[in-house]
Amino acid sequence: MPKTTLPPRSAQRQEDTWDIASVFPNIAAWETEYQLVQAELPAFEKYHEKLTGPAILAEALDASFQVIVRVHKLSMYARLVASVDASNEEAAALNSRAATLDGQVSAALAFIKPELLANGAEKLSQWAGSDSRLAAYAHYFEDLLRVQAHVRSPEVEELLGALNDPFATAHGVVGSLTGAEMRFQPAKSSTGEEYPVAQSTTVPLWSSTDRETRRTAWEHYHNGYLAFKKTLTNNLEGQIKQNIFFARAHGYRSALEARLAVDNIPVEVYHNVIQTFRRNLPTWHRYWALRRRILGYKTLHTYDLYSPLTTKLPPLPYTQAVDWIAEGLQPLGDEYVQILRRGCLQERWVDIYPNQGKRLGAFSSGSPGTHPFIFMSYDDSLKGMSTLAHELGHSMHSYLTWQTQPLVYSEYSMFVAETASNFHQAMVRAHLLRTRPERDFQIGLLDEAMNNFHRYYFIMPLLARLELEMYERVERGEALTADVLNGLFADFLAEGYGSEVEVDAARDGITWATFSHLYANFYVFQYTTGIAAANTLARSILASQPQAVERYLAFLRTGNARYPLDVLQQAGVDLSTSEPIEATFAVLADYVERLEHLTSTMA
């Protein structure tokens, strides 16, 4: 049953919160570091117009990546503070100032790439081969030379870098509006009980066994967004125009091409996701029909899609969830599992439970020099366990990258970011399907799996389709309106749900606005590719294919030292084709078949 009240942040036990003091002991220490970084930026002037030899180039590159990581750490801390309490004005100010410093750093370092490229490919290759400090930058040079035609003069790059600060406003606005200022009417149960609707309570409310609770929670949540539909549309349109501006400033034909060029990914990969998804919609239609039959409804509404298919599951405490996750990942070896367990149970990687002001969703964050941090609202359920497994995948990916790669490669491409997270879920799910044969547990586990796939293998590709449509319209000079976006997304949902789910055009149409993912341009399609890669890699390990574990761990340790399509191919999956996506739809179809068999005697 949903909680009628949420505790204030101050009521959380320290052991249930993340160890943010390990990053900075207090805001005063954050402020000291902020001032130090800001004061050191003018020192980069000494490298300006002097990057003509290997020694000074190595010095400048080392210094630049060190300061980038320091700013990342400042930004990460500010985000962590703000995420657990959206009403914290001091945290909001830290976020804003971190964005300002990021823009200042981008401007201060903007001369490096064009001046570096001015040396020419031959010199850079020679220096990387003969200078020990530059040897690590060989792939970095290769990557810069690949996009050389899109790098502007030092003066222009400095100006474009300085725009990162004001251009961060749109993302900040949507966070403040939806996380701190938007208010929702409470949900009401069929017996008249009221439950607070907030960003951190929506999933438990939508998963209630009481249909009236689900309906009112769903409607009141989406009504909150509808009340600001014009503001939300204008804000997102502003973000889209900014991304188009950057793409054109760098000489790209479209914002999609510009974004994918960062990772050396052909635009065909994006279009392939949408086309393959639409070809496989009959699998989803089959599932919606099954869900409607199991629940016994004449008409299935979108607020019914998270209704539990069984109510016979006991609470799943956090420590038990950690145990099951560790068991599912045991094929990766003792060292991997021990790192994960320490992070969850001793080193306080995870901010575990919901509280007042805690934002919706979950994420993993961190920086070289810190351990990973996981934000979530655990609720003693299989869903909570799955979310924890997902974020631990991100965290272990980051942890092993930071342990292995120099700073220049210490981040990994967003294109591979959703692979390790979904790999964890696939491995834990397979373990529990194999070891827990109880009928209700199997139904609950598959129900959670389908809910997860619904969000990431159904909603996300639909959002990718909408995102492409939005960008193409703006690039043609057309305006976006709330009614246009809501109408488009309602139509996309109607196609995806088929005749089995009744779409509420207004409330379902505004669903796009509930996903801040759209402010990371052309990110959402990567959930589909990530799930496809994850399931392909998990199948190879579960089948005990030779070297599959070693290849997967090597993938986690690579960071961005190689192009994402290449590193995935080396691990054993080729996302330049539709085969992994098609194969993962086969996994989805298998889940549906299992549910059909398990529920064949139900109403």
Would you name the residues annotated as active-site residues? Answer: 391
3-state secondary structure of 350: strand
Other C-beta atoms lying within 10 Å of the C-beta of residue 11: 10
Helix axes 414-435, 525-542, angle to 10 degrees: 50
DSSP state of 297: -
Structure tokens, 476: 């043609």
d(CA 485, CA 515) in angstroms, rounded, equals 13
| H helix intervals, 357-504 | 382-404, 414-435, 439-454, 460-475, 482-497
Structure tokens, 14: 């320290």
Other C-beta atoms lying within 10 Å of the C-beta of residue 393: 29
What's the Cα-to-Cα distance from 185 to each of 3, 304, 402, rounded to whole Å? 15, 19, 44
Structure tokens, 555: 């993938």
Q: Please, which residues have CB within 8 angstroms of residue 3's CB and are 6 or more apart in sequence? A: 195, 201, 204, 354
d(CA 369, CA 117) in angstroms, rounded, equals 30
d(CA 377, CA 511) in angstroms, rounded, equals 21
Helix axes 154-162, 89-109, angle to 10 degrees: 180
Cβ-count burial 290-307 (b if 16+ within 10 Å, e if not): bbbbbbeeeebbbbbbbb
Q: Tell me if 270 sits within 8 A of 468, measured CB to CB.
A: yes
DSSP state of 546: T
3-state secondary structure of 508: helix
